[in-house]
Structure 1
Amino acid sequence: MFLSKNTYVQSLFWLLLSILASCLNDLVTKLLITELSSCQVCFFRFILGSLFLVPIMHHRGKSTFKTQRLSLHIFRGLFLSIGMGIYAYSLTKMTISSATVIGFTNPIFVLILARIFLKEVVAWPIWMATLCTCLGMALILRPTTYNSAALSCILATIVFASLDVINKKYVAYEPILSMLFFSNLVAACCMLPVACYYWKVPTLLELFFLSILGIGSNLILYFLLKAFQQSKVASLAPMKYTEWVLSILLGYLFFQEWPTLSALLGAAIIVSSTCFILYYQNR
């Protein structure tokens, strides 16, 4: 019993590190896009993320650079570049906390896409929770203030959900380092032409923050996998929502952002709905 509790605490520690890295990445992205284009920021995130993996992969042997699913990595890299590009754009006009809460709807879109493409059965209570989630998003975005940035955030969440479905079906036996390296490399290649069009030579300080972004993008997934190695996803899911609290604090400290009453209500609905779905799926 003690070992079980100790293992769970370790899992929470890794999850909190993942949440911290994710929030800091959002913060750095929002800071950088005030001077650089979102496409250029994403390009550096991907290319530096892949370059930082090279020494680790070289240390583990040349076999880590080989893959049997190159076409799949190309497909994933394309989706990753699209998703991150439009998410970074959404941060130009949305608060970090609102973008974070919209990201919590990812499990909803995964269920819908899994039903369409993987033919998985989705129970009617899940569909009801999905409708409630849509209501929560409407309260956060407010129909009278819909704009391209807000819609981009929703679209980015759908793209990331599509990536999760792809991973679920095809990438069960692919090494995590290969997934990170090739997907980042392909995404960088996809983003390069657009980044060149809006190119601005970054300062040394901006390069420093871009390096943090590249390292952070790898650490997010590494910490998350470490957490899920020791505990079930369902047992850790409620803790994931502390990311919203942290995003509010960072948004307020650095950008004087504070969620409106409707955004708080919408967030409560989304968190409740996704918690219900996780409980229903793992009951």
Structure 2
Amino acid sequence: MTDNVKAALLMMGALAMLALNDTAIKTMALTIPLFQIVVLRNGVTTLALGFSILRGGKLPRLSRRDLALSLLRGVGEVGAAYFYLIALVAMPFANVVAILQSAPLVVTLAAALFLGEKVGWRRLSAILVGFVGVLLIVRPGTEGFDIFALDVLISVGFITLRDLATRRLSREAPAMTVTAITSSMVLAFFVVLGLDEPWVPMSAWSIVLTFVAAGFVLGSYLTTIQAMRIGEISFVSPFRYTSLLWALLLGFVLFGEWPQALTLIGAAIVVASGLFTLYRERKTGQPVPQGPEVIQALESRP
């Protein structure tokens, strides 16, 4: 087995763990306020990330520029997580993840508009085709339209902010430190969000699910880092789209959800457009430095 194949399997495993984290949250949100779930989950993950950083001995330092960019990407992650989780609780799992697959397309377009990155007519055409796929999933103005789909689109906007900030980070920015800052900002936001809301008692099963969700998030971080270290980024990155397969499987098995035909067609168009855009970016564009690329991969979903 080559290193690239090992890395691809690790990336698929990381996406499976993120899907299981989402499943745990979606299950618990039936009886527990969303803010309470996120505070407990991110409390565990933030403490674990902080412990991992301190265990390394010397505390990694960020330059002022990287610190400012880390805070900006934290704002993006807070907004992305808030709107994504609202939609996740209310919508079919696969529908949410299908719309979320448009994020790389939006990031590519935004990078061209705001960062001056070159986007040729082929990639631009793929982005436009991808947006058609999003319209097939969302179907605005029809009976199949779900208002919560707008929350996912807003989440995509915040993901774009997060990833643009990530692209501007220096190669020396420590992935774990940047991720810990992001996780702590999400934790602080949901703590403030829940100040006026009462906490509810949790069953032993809910407590277990909370720690399981935190474990899956941490596991996905470690697995992704390992995947990016041993494999070629251009080979490994397309396997992020397997998250849609996990969402389809878990949504059907655990929640009895199956998307409509138009949603599946739209999702296929979005994924195909994203894969083509990624192919063209790796072939003709300037690759993102590996440090920021690892950080970007760590949080492929809110």
Q: Same fold (TM over 0.5)?
A: yes
The residue aligned with 2:292 is none
The residue aligned with 1:169 is 168
Structure 1 residues without counterparts, runs of 5 or longer: none
Q: Greater helix share, 1 or 2?
A: 1
Tell me which amino acid in the other structure corresponds to 1:148.
Answer: I
The residue aligned with 1:198 is 197
The residue aligned with 1:58 is 54
The residue aligned with 2:286 is none
Contact kept? 1:23, 1:243, Cα under 8 Å: yes
Contact kept? 1:46, 1:184, Cα under 8 Å: yes
The residue aligned with 1:272 is 272
The residue aligned with 2:145 is 146
Matched, 1:231 2:231: yes
Tell me which amino acid in the other structure corresponds to 1:105.
Answer: S
Q: Which structure 2 residues correspond to residues 1-80 of structure 1 after superposition, within 5 A?
A: 6-64=2-60, 66-68=61-63, 69-80=66-77
What do residues 165-222 of structure 1 show as CA deviations (whole Å, max 9, x unaligned)?
1111124312122112222112211221112233323413322222222232233233
Q: Give, in whole Å, the separation in 2 of the partners of 1:112 and 1:42.
A: 31
Contact kept? 1:73, 1:182, Cα under 8 Å: yes
The residue aligned with 2:219 is 219
Contact kept? 1:137, 1:270, Cα under 8 Å: yes
CA displacement at 1:62 relative to structure 2: 4.6
The residue aligned with 2:102 is 105
CA RMSD of aligned residues (A): 1.9
The residue aligned with 2:288 is none
Taking every aligned residue pair, what percent have the same amino acid on both sides? 22
The residue aligned with 1:135 is 132
Contact kept? 1:42, 1:84, Cα under 8 Å: no
Contact kept? 1:78, 1:190, Cα under 8 Å: no
Q: Give, in whole Å, the separation in 1 of the partners of 2:19 and 2:170.
A: 26
Q: Give, in whole Å, the separation in 1 of the partners of 2:129 and 2:39.
A: 36
Contact kept? 1:40, 1:199, Cα under 8 Å: no
Tell me which amino acid in the other structure corresponds to 1:25.
Answer: N
Q: Does the residue aligned with 2:155 lie in a helix, a strand or coil?
A: helix
The residue aligned with 2:287 is none
The 1:240–1:87 alpha-carbon spacing in structure 2 relative to 1, beyond 3 Å, is same
Contact kept? 2:92, 2:251, Cα under 8 Å: yes
TM-score by length of 2: 0.85
The 1:199–1:114 alpha-carbon spacing in structure 2 relative to 1, beyond 3 Å, is farther
Contact kept? 2:10, 2:226, Cα under 8 Å: yes
- 118-127 vs 218-227, which moves further: 218-227
The residue aligned with 2:185 is 186
Contact kept? 1:101, 1:244, Cα under 8 Å: yes
CA displacement at 1:39 relative to structure 2: 2.9
Tell me which amino acid in the other structure corresponds to 1:253.
Answer: V
Matched, 1:81 2:71: no
CA displacement at 1:153 relative to structure 2: 0.7
Matched, 1:124 2:124: no
Structure 2 residues without counterparts, runs of 5 or longer: 284-302
CA displacement at 1:269 relative to structure 2: 0.8
Tell me which amino acid in the other structure corresponds to 1:265.
Answer: I
- 46-55 vs 148-157, which moves further: 46-55
TM-score by length of 1: 0.90
